[in-house]
Chains A and B, each alone.
Chain A
Amino acid sequence: MSRRRRRINMPRQGVPVTTARDVAQDPSRGRRFNIKTEVVVVGSGAAGSVVAHELARAGHEVLVLEAGRYYPSSQFTEHLGDTINEVYKDQASQLNSTADVLFVEGACIGGSTVIGACVMHRPPNSLLEGWSERHGLDQMTPEKLAPLYDEIGEEQFVHLNEAHEINATAHKVIQGCEHMGFRWRPVTRNVRRCALTGHCLAGCKPDRKMSALVTHLPWAVGYGAELYADTHVTRVRIENNRATGVDAVVRDPDTGDTVAEMRVDAQVVVSAGGAIQTPLLLQRSQAPDFSGELGRNLALQPFTQVLAEFPEELYGFRGALVGVQVDEFLESDGFLFYSALAEPEQLMAQGDQGVGADHINFMLRYKHLAGLNAFSIDDGRGSVSWDGGVNDGRQIIRWNPSRKEFNRIKQSASLAARIFFSAGAKRVYMPTYQRLEVDSVFDLDKTMDEVDYGLRGMYTFRSNSFSPQGTCRMGSERSRAVVNPNGELFDVAGLFVADASLFPEPMAAAPHWTVQVLAKHVARRIEARRSSLFI
């Protein structure tokens, strides 16, 4: 018998969310309150929203707890600084332990999907075949996952960029690739009638981007799921090797003051806090870690932005943010390139932008610039760990490039520079901590030799990570993986992971689509085991 829930009215705009302010103004709850539900989902981003929709649709009582605030699109200002203050994790200052790699994540209802660049990349079959063969993941073959990719593709309105979605920056990349004979193609994106505002990273005000804010979350609410914002889950409660719920604190998002403490009793706990926060939550909860892999295998997918100056005015910051990708080197070297030019404030995080008059001249040539984001695969050697007590500890992200990874970053940045020189760039700005400009392709190698690996590759390239992954890897062997092929922790019944932490090995492609596919897979496995998981 189908338990599918009857749909209630799905909101046409926005999502009903209980916020810290609502909790504070409701005297019936007091400073401590309990909630009982069947499923509690930690995090409302790419993975959490899909799980919430799937399980609510299947008839379960679903509660989603999100640490970040509710920032509906009606409040978006198309101003990156405002958005960073409101919804970027730690106001976009989340760094590794040596403070030279920036980890950018969304922390709001909708998670990173709200500020994502809309690229939806379906990885090559070879990637999924490798995952499935090397990690005993029979369900992860390209054939078995294909229907899930198709479903997410349809739900997310994924389409190939049309001609009007290819801006001047992208055209320069195409030109360069054509001269070099490199394979390029328009990117596929999750946008409905893109309005070409170029403000993807500040949230899509006219609701064209298919973020979780306008897709899986309102759909989940339509089936009765409940959402709390400003609610940080501190611990999963585990009794006799079974998850029994979570503890959380509701905090005023402006002051950080605790408004209330919440205890949730649930039959199933799904952690979807992202690849940095999920392992930290499990470590704080003292979840058993037989393999010793919890929080390890962190891959970053580091990327740098290479800027090029052209004689003509391009206004390369206008139009769709990401137009084309260069995937010539994806399978051979693990490099992927996306055309995109950052807005002025973000540009400052991409390289050394000069001093004084030099900086001013650089910015006055902003409309002559084009940008190419050079992603290179890393080896998944990083880690995240929680240091200290549940309430007073802090996170530590460890990642510095090995010599091999450093060389890959260097090579990908050099390739991006070559593409621009082939398109007629008169100067290329390298994404390094030291100021490096190159005025001719013949000087490129010599200039790049100035970037020396030095001490653990620190403070060499201005690497960013938008796509951390792999910290609770999935696999069939308890001695090598954190979660089993269903996404459930090996030694804790009813505790699932559904987010980017699941990736068994680093991937070179943009991960959003795959994260949502794995989340759907985990939700379907939970539903398939309904009789043993739910009373």
Chain B
Amino acid sequence: MSSSESPARTEAVRQAAPLSRLTRRRFLRYGLIGSAALAAAAAGSFAILRRSPVDAIPVAEGIRNLGAGEYHLFRRAIEVLLPTAGTALTPVEEVPVLANIDHMMGLLPAHVRQELGTGLALFDNAAVVSGFHGRRFVDLDDQAAVDYFDAWSRGHSIQRALNTVIKQFVYTAYWREPETWPPVEFDGPVSDDWGLDYLGNAPLPREDQA
């Protein structure tokens, strides 16, 4: 029996059904992630759609703003989005990508943060029901995870939003670190290296000097 026909999948589909009933009007009324939140609430909780072995892995020390589910989601997203091993790019393990994501999360206004949390849970759990072998995103193999991102980048508005948010968190958190620049030959800070003189404040306009 294929996993797509398993009782777990049937149950997952049942629980996630409210998502497919998101109407255009409701979507417009409640905003983007807000409507995902409604669907999540109606479905009970996404966190129970399918357990994953990664749920048992503890969150790294120093993580303050990411919940456990979010932490595992981003950890997996980083592996999938930035497979730097064997390439000229700075190895992703040498860049504090997760710590940067955690920091950025902490800067979000409370209401955005809350909606984003719901959206991330949706991204992780929707893989269970959308043709990805009944597994959460965190458990997809590399190719399936890449395909999942690609599918969401071409999906409906909520999917495009979440695909973008996750990529942007991961890529920004990586590319903002100076050690990632040499392989792409971006120069970074130059003024001190070039010995530029600092001009200070501009002289008063002519009219003032009269």
Q: Which residues of A pack against B, CB within 8 Å?
A: 7, 10-15, 57, 73-74, 77-81, 85, 90-91, 93, 95, 97-100, 151, 154-155, 157, 192-193, 195, 197-199, 205-208, 210, 214-215, 218-219, 222, 315, 317-318, 343-345, 347-349, 352-353, 355-357, 359-360, 363-364, 366-367, 394, 433-435, 454-456, 458-459
Within 8 A of A (CB), among B149-206: 149-150, 153-154, 156-157, 160-161, 163-164, 167-168, 171-172, 175-178, 180-181, 183-191, 194, 196-202, 204-206
Task: Decide if A344 touches B184 in the complex (CB within 8 Å).
Answer: yes
Q: Are B191 and A195 in contact (CB under 8 A)?
A: yes
The minimal Cβ–Cβ distance linking A197 to chain B, given in whole angstroms, is: 5
Pairwise interchain contact A208-B199, C-beta atoms closer than 8 A:
yes
A79 in contact with B188 given A98-B31, A218-B201, A353-B167 (CB within 8 Å): yes
| B interface size (C-beta, 8 A) | 64
- Judged by a CB distance under 8 angstroms, whether B112 is at the interface is yes
Tell me if B88 and A364 are in contact (CB < 8 A): yes
Closest chain B residue to A85 by CB distance?
B107
Among A73, A349, A360, max chain B CB count under 10 A is at A360
Residues of A near B27 (CB, < 8 A) are 455
Interface SS of chain A: helix, strand, loop or mixed? loop
Which residues of the other chain, B, contact A353 by a CB distance below 8 angstroms?
Answer: 167, 171
B206 touches A154 (CB 8 A): yes
Beta-carbon contact of B154 and A434 below 8 Å: yes
Chain A residue nearest to B153 (CB atoms) is: A434
Question: Which A residues are in CB contact (< 8 Å) with B149?
Answer: 355
Within the complex, which residue of A57, A90, A343, A363 is in contact with B89, where a contact is CB–CB below 8 Å?
A363
User: Looking at the complex, which one of B24, B80, B154, B197 makes contact with A355 (CB distance below 8 Å)?
Assistant: B80
Can you offer 18 A-B residue contacts whose CB atoms are under 8 A?
Answer: A13-B201, A14-B201, A81-B176, A90-B107, A154-B206, A205-B191, A205-B196, A206-B196, A215-B201, A349-B172, A353-B167, A356-B81, A356-B82, A364-B184, A455-B24, A455-B27, A458-B32, A459-B164
State whether B206 touches A360 (Cβ < 8 A): no
B130 cross-chain contacts in A, Cβ below 8 A: none
Decide: B191 and A344 in contact? CB cutoff 8 A.
no
Min CB distance A262 to B, Å, is 24
Chain A residues, Cβ within 8 Å of B205:
151, 154-155, 219
Name the residue in A13, A157, A215, A356 with the highest tally of chain B Cβ atoms < 10 Å from its Cβ: A356
Q: Is the beta-carbon distance between B160 and A459 smaller than 8 angstroms?
A: yes
A-B interface contact total, Cβ < 8 Å: 184
Task: From A222, A345, A433, give the contact of B172 (CB < 8 A).
Answer: A345
A356 to chain B: which residues have CB within 8 Å? 80-83, 142, 146
Of A91, A99, A214, the residue contacting B202 (CB under 8 A) is A214
Closest-CB distance, A82 to chain B (whole angstroms):
9
Contact between chains at A360 and B204 (CB < 8 Å):
no
Question: What chain B residues lie within 8 Å of A214 (beta carbons)?
Answer: 199-202
Q: Is the CB of B198 within 8 A of A206?
A: yes
| Contact partner, A79, options B161, B178, B180, Cβ 8 Å | B178
B94 within 8 A of A: no
Judge whether B31 and A359 touch: CB under 8 Å: no
Q: Across the interface, do A80 and B81 meet the contact criterion of CB distance under 8 Å?
A: no
**Complex: how many Å from CA A86 to CA B178?**
17
**Chain B residues within 8 Å of A90, by CB:** 107, 109
Cβ-defined contact, B188 with A352, below 8 A: no
